[in-house]
Amino acid sequence: MASMATVSFGGVTKSISLVLVPEAGIGDYVIVHVGFAISKLDEEAARRTLETYADLAASGSPDTTNGEAPG
């Protein structure tokens, strides 16, 4: 399997490394940090995570306004 992949973040595509999650394949959901897939998620976990982020964004939470943790 290739060590690089193209992923979509809400319609924005980026190339990331799969070196830490070599079992990830086409159609899989992964958590990405600084350009690396760090964990593979099943579809239900990915759906819950995406819903949580959407809820945070809709609430105007400071956690989602500039990409940095508060404090």
31-55 pLDDT per residue, tens: 999 999 999 999 999 999 889 989 9
Beta bridge partners of residue 16, listed in sequence order: 5
46 token code pair: 């990915």
Q: What are the backbone angles phi and psi of residue 51, rounded to the nearest 5°?
A: -65, -40
Percentage of the chain exceeding pLDDT 70: 82
Q: Can you give the pLDDT at residue 53? A: 86
Token pair in block for residue 70: 């508060």
pLDDT at 61: 65
CATH of domain 4-61: 2.30.30.140
* CA–CA dist 65, 58 (Å, integer): 10
In this predicted structure, what is the pLDDT of residue 43? 94
The conformational region for residue 35 under phi > 0 = left, psi -120 to 50 = alpha, else beta, is left
Domain range list for the chain: 4-61
Euclidean distance between the first and final Cα of the chain, in Å?
41
